[in-house]
Structure 1
Amino acid sequence: MTTHTGPVDHELVEAAVRVARTRCRGDHHTMAAAGRARDGRIVTAVNAYHFTGGPCAEMVLIGAAAAQGVYELDTVVAVGDRGRGVVPPCGRCRQVLADYFPALRVVVGNGDDTRTVPVVDLLPERYVWTDRPGGTG
């Protein structure tokens, strides 16, 4: 696998950090995500943890973006509460993000190693669940 890295959208990371710091409280909301729309807007969200499972911040972000009329995201990042920094998407989120936004870039890494990579590089040989051209629903 060849990973193509790109510049980090620091404003996007800071938006996610701000939401994690101000909105993630207790055990129900422990992760924040931010996404940059194609028109430059930033959409944010937090996860909804529950012992039966719950949507990750990236999944909530997709719905929050759609509710605001944003159907195309260019870049996303997730960060943990309590100053944990950038957290890469879980396998389920990688699959869903790649299905919704095949050209999406994802901020991963931490500290000096923070970088932006194509979501498809995070999920090589991904499952394509549709027969539509381009692999989207």
Structure 2
Amino acid sequence: MTGRRVADPAADCPDPVARTLVAAAFAAIESRYVLDRHQIAAAVLDADGTVHLGLHLDAMVGRAAVCAEAGALSAARLVTGAELIAVAAVRYPKPTEEAVARVVPPCGLCRELLVDHAPRLRGVVHDGTGLTLTPLAGLLPHKYVGTKWAPAPARP
């Protein structure tokens, strides 16, 4: 913890699922923030109502870094096969920045990874007017489709 007061961005979430995930991600990064090491935490909700957390792991070599969303996905898959419902990530401000934590959308790599493992997953994003839950597949209009896995069956 940094010792300075940073507002929880969950207060701006009208949707209760989004609010729960943003609050969980904020609490995780607020308690684990380390400059240039851990700046983002993510929370993934499964169909059983469990929230799984992940922490951004920075690295000297940028490609070796691990995004918080990937960590949360891994944490979820370690303990459940339940469908994953929603994800949120919160970036904690650096000491030189205004003391405002903010919700950040998954990067392109995480969008691909999350949609591979949870095709119907929704993410908390800022839509220009406020925080909302939106299908991640919609943020990834040209999803890579390889031949590694059989296509997932369509769900009603």
Find the counterpart in structure 2 of residue 87 from structure 1: 104
Residue from 25, 44, 65 that aligns with 2:76: 65
Residue from 23, 37, 40 that aligns with 1:14: 23
Query: Normalising by structure 1, what TM-score?
Result: 0.85
CA offset digits 1:55-98 (Å, max 9, x no partner): 10011111111222355310000010133310011110111111
Structure 2 runs not aligned, ≥5 long: 1-13, 94-99
Structure 1 consecutive aligned stretches of length 4 or more whose deviation exceeds 3 Å: none
Query: Which letter does structure 1 place at the counterpart of 2:68?
Result: A
CA RMSD of aligned residues (A): 2.1
2:120 matched to 1:109?
Answer: no
Find the counterpart in structure 2 of residue 24 from structure 1: 33
- Go from structure 1 to structure 2 and tell me whether the alpha carbon gap of 1:113 and 1:24 turns closer, same or farther (over 3 Å shift): same
Query: Normalising by structure 2, what TM-score?
Result: 0.75
Alignment check: 8 A CA contact 2:125 2:133 kept? yes
CA offset digits 1:96-128 (Å, max 9, x no partner): 111111010000117951011001000002111
Structure 1 runs not aligned, ≥5 long: 1-5
